[in-house]
Structures are given as C-alpha cells and as structure tokens.
Structure 1
Amino acid sequence: MKFRTFFVCTAALFCGAFLAGCSKPPSLPVLQQIEYSNLADADTQNLLSDLLQNAGVSDLRIQTFFEHVQKFNSAVDPAWLTTGFETAKPLDLKYDPYSMQDVWAEKYGTFPGWNCRITACGLFGDFITVTGEADFDAAEDTLFMDYETLDTDPEALCGDKRQKFDALFAPVKTTNTTDIPTHLKTIQQEWKRRGLSFVADDKIRLISVVLHDQFSETDNSLMIGHVGVMLPTSDAVYFVEKVAFQEPYRLLKFKNRTELSDYLMLKYDNSWGQDTAHTFIMDNANLMDGWRILEEPTDSNG
C-alpha cells in the first residue's frame, strides 16, 4: 500500500530534468532556479497583500493568512527564512525540516499548524462554490491531520463550512490506468457531482497538484497532494503556498506558467518506476496551461 498522498505536503520529491510531451514548445528550458520569499519582511508581505486585494480576496481572508504567517515565522529561527526575495535551486532548502518541526512542537505542542490545503482554501474560498449535499466517502484516512487543525482552529477557513473543504480535497475514486486524460475527466466529473465549481477570475487561480495512488488493481484514487494560489500579473506569475504543516510559507515569482509547472513537477512527480500515472496540475477545474511532464533522470554510470 502506498501512502504518498498524506506525506506529499511534507516533503519534496525529486523527479528529473527535461520535457517529454508537454503543452509548451521544447525550446523552453527546464527550470533551474527559483525566486522566492518566506514573507518574513514588510516589502514582500505588502506585495502579496496588494496582489490578493487586487484579485478580490476579502480582508478577513488576507488578515487570517498573515496572522498564520506571523505565528509560523516567529516560531522558527530567522536564519532559516529568506530576507526579501532570494534565489535557489528548485529543491534546495535553507533549513532542516526535522529541526523546524522540533522547534514548532516546542512552541505549539501537538497542534500541527496549517498546511497547503488549509492555507489555499482559506485564501481562495470565495472563489469556490458548493451546491447541494452530495454524498461522498469521508477522507479521515488521508486528511486526518487537516481535520485536527480544523477542529482546533475552525476559523482557518474564514467562515466556510467543512463541506467546501471536503468537496475539494476528499480523494476521488479512479480506474487503474496511467492515462492522464482519463483521470482528469474522472476528477472533473466527480467535482461536478459534488456540486463543486469555481468562480472564473484571471487574477487568481487555484493550482492543484493531483496524485494517483494505487492501493491495488481495483483500488485507485486521485488526491490533491499539494495546492497553492496563483496570482498572474502582466509581467510575472506569482504563486503562494504553505510548503507543509511545519514548513514555511512561500511566495514564488515565475516568468510563466511552465516554470511554475516545472517547480511543482520536480517536487511532486514521483511516478517513475511505478504503475501510477504521472502527477498532473490543475488550474481551477482544468489542466493547467503550461503543464508538462519532465523526463526521468538517467543513470550516468550506465
């Protein structure tokens, strides 16, 4: 049995280097460097606040988000966080994740904190609608830590009912195939059955990293293993995320959506050598423009 979906918000999974079948021309090089901030300074906080306000995110959601950022950043060693925007290789970290978890636990005990899903839903909730009371399987086995946080801090969803969170993030049953169009259609149809839809707005988009888990030949599921909010502008594509429960917030700046795709695929596509489909990335309810699969790394020793 594979437990990838639960842990994917807590670790970066290395995949590889060049493209093999994509929606952008092969002349675009694979992302080699990222520009990011941990929102520990006034300038980047003001930048993100302006982007969110311009996109129509409510004051309550922005305030709640930055309260969580402040609580996290004040709990960890400042040396682990950026000063403004910094550059790094896509998978490089300034901190040891285990040390960061220990420091968080010293201050907050058993409270797990906020992860990617809770953070994104808190920010993006006004752009998600759920109608009806569709019945679907509970997600206690995969979202139990999310629920622990929401039980302790129900205000993290900024007034939204748990139903909206569950409709978006509860796993979706799928078939045993590596065909991504099949999985994409499956999750789209299931979201529609659940009454889940998105408010279209070019200034803000929900970017979801969808993982295929295969527990057996007859037991397959799709789950949003990582998620963040994209804020496109005329000259950049910004992406805000919480890396993991006890890892930092990030505001990243990319030139285009393909760079964002590469960043997420390098971290979360661990399908190589398995009988599962590649990770794919959704923009609201559709495949993200610019998404591409990266080629499996080769063994230089033959």
Structure 2
Amino acid sequence: VDNFINLVKDYNNTVGSVGLSGDFAPFTKTDYDVEKISSLWTAKHGDFIGTNCRINTYTLLKGKIKIPQVKSDTELLFQDKDAIDKGKLFDTKDQANFDILFSRVKTEATQDVKVHAKHMEDYYKHFTFDAKARMLSVVVHDNLDGDSLFVGHVGVLVPTTDGYLFVEKLTFEEPYQAIKFSSKKDCYKYLTTKYKDYTGPGLAKPFIMDNDKWVDMD
C-alpha cells in the first residue's frame, strides 16, 4: 500500500495542475486532458511512461494473491515490461509473478463469452485470491496472433462501511480513480459499460472476472 500511495503521489505531484484530484462527488463521465498530462509527465520522467492498471493492481495485491509458478505468455505486456524496467518498479521475482498473473490465455475462435470465461476460470483456478481485496478484471478477446484472452483493464475492489470502493489507474497517461459503489453489481456495470467497445469483428465482447470467477451480466 505504501508503494502504491507513493506512485499516486508522484503522479499527482507531476500532473495535478491539470485538475485531477478532489473530493468525492457524484460520478459522471470523466474526460482528461491526456495531451497536457503527457507533456507534464514527459518533462519530468523522460522515457519512463509511468504505470498502468495492471502494474498498480499487482503493487496493491501482490501480498494477497498466491501465484502458481507456471509458464507465462507476455506477448501483450511489452509496454508494461518497458515501464517496469525503466521505472525499476519490481525485482526479478515480482516481475515473474506479474507476468504470470496477467499472462495471455489461449482460447478459441468464437464470440461465445461463456467459452472464453471458462478458459479464464480454468487458468485462475490455480491462484489463491483474497476474499476482501478483490481483483476485478476486464478480459478482452484478441485474435491478432491466434485467439487469446488478455486482462485489458483491472482494479481493486474493497468493502467499506456503506458499500464498496473501487481503485484503478485508468491508463499510463490517465489518472488514478477511486469510486464508491453501493454494491458489487454497480461496479460490474460501470466496468462493463466503460469497456464495452474493446472488441472488433469476429471477437467476443469484453467480460468481467471477479478474482477467479466470471461475472455473468446477462
């Protein structure tokens, strides 16, 4: 958590003048001045592009997830790996565990989400996740190099006294967000709606995993 907060502070101290941080307010669609953010970030950090959703989620949850030592497919993690290397974010063990947690998973050439969800559940059944600090993943179907599944976005959901708090880093450029929800279902709906267009011809629509289980929104 300390490492995560340090990343948040560095980001906000670097680009906070764009008007990112503030008190909780009713949630509306957020649009950020990515061009201005990028110029401020690059001026301070050079070719280190910062951190994204996967890097921050691993930073928060690495002590809460038991990760099996299996072979990983990191073909789609090239930007993450470059950021981790240039930012000196993880040691060798953490890098390996990160690669396994967010490995590309083989699937079939179908638009049936149930088929893809079964492959993700089969992959994650070898992991032990935390019941309170939950990893919510938006899984994307990709077929540029064979059919595979990939965690396109991810964040951490924790219970609060009156509902749930979802913590995420939107993209390398875009900021951290903390959103309060009254139920898990509301958070699932937010993620499903926000990332519904992360698909293409012949591809399945994105779907949500709550830890190691598929969230059936139908």
What TM-score results when the alignment is normalised by the length of structure 2?
0.90
Larger-Rg structure: 1
How far the C-alpha of 1:271 sits from its partner, in A, is: 5.7
Contact 1:211-1:225 within 8 A present in 2 as well: yes
Report the secondary structure of 2:26's partner residue: strand
Q: Which residue of 1 aligns with 2:87?
A: 153
Structure 1 residues 158 and 247: alpha-carbon distance in aligned structure 2, compared to 1, 3 A threshold: farther
The structure showing larger relative contact order (alpha-carbon pairs under 8 Å, at least 6 residues apart) is 1
For 1:125, the equivalent position in structure 2 comes to: 62
Change (3 A) 1:215 1:199: closer
Residue 160 to residue 259, structure 1, CA distance change in 2 (3 Å): farther
Unaligned 5+ segments in structure 1 are 1-61, 294-302
Overall identity of the aligned pairs, in %: 34
Hey, what's the Cα distance between the residues in 2 that align with 1:131 and 1:214? 26
3-state DSSP class of the match of 2:57? helix
| Aligned-pair CA distance for 1:92 | 2.5
Q: How does 1:29-68 map to 2 (within 5 A)?
A: 62-68=1-7
Instruction: Give the Å deviation of 1:199.
Output: 3.3
CA distance in 1, matches of 2:27, 2:68: 42
* 1:70 partnered with 2:9: yes
Query: 1:111 and 2:48 equivalent?
Result: yes
Counterparts of 1:150-229 in structure 2, within 5 Å, are 150-154=84-88, 156-157=89-90, 160-192=93-125, 196-201=126-131, 203-215=132-144, 219-229=146-156
Is 1:144 the counterpart of 2:82 in the alignment? no
Distance 1:135 1:182, change over 3 A: same
The one-letter code matched in structure 2 to 1:75 is T
Q: Report how many aligned residue pairs link the two structures.
A: 218
Whether the aligned pair in 2 keeps the contact of 1:64 and 1:158 (CA below 8 Å) is no
Find the residue that maps to 1:215 and give its secondary structure. coil
Who is 1:247 aligned against? 174
What TM-score comes out, normalization by structure 1 length? 0.66
| Residues 82, 153 of structure 1: alpha-carbon distance in 2 compared, 3 angstrom cutoff | closer
Aligned to 1:287: 214
Distance in 2 (CA, whole Å) between partners of 1:182 and 1:122 is 30
Would you say the 8 A contact 1:118–1:157 is kept in 2? Answer: no
- Write out the 4+ residue segments of structure 1 that deviate beyond 6 Å after TM superposition: none
Once the two structures are superposed, residues 176-214 of structure 1 have per-residue CA deviations (whole angstroms, 9 ceiling, x without a partner) of 11111211111222345xxx402342x210111100112
Instruction: List runs of 5+ in structure 2 lacking aligned partners.
Output: none
Cα offset, 1:169, TM superposition: 0.9
Report the Cα offset of residue 160 of structure 1.
4.8
Distance 1:261 1:131 in 2: 27
1:130 is paired with a residue whose SS is coil
**How many angstroms apart in 1 are the aligned matches of 2:158 and 2:85?**
29
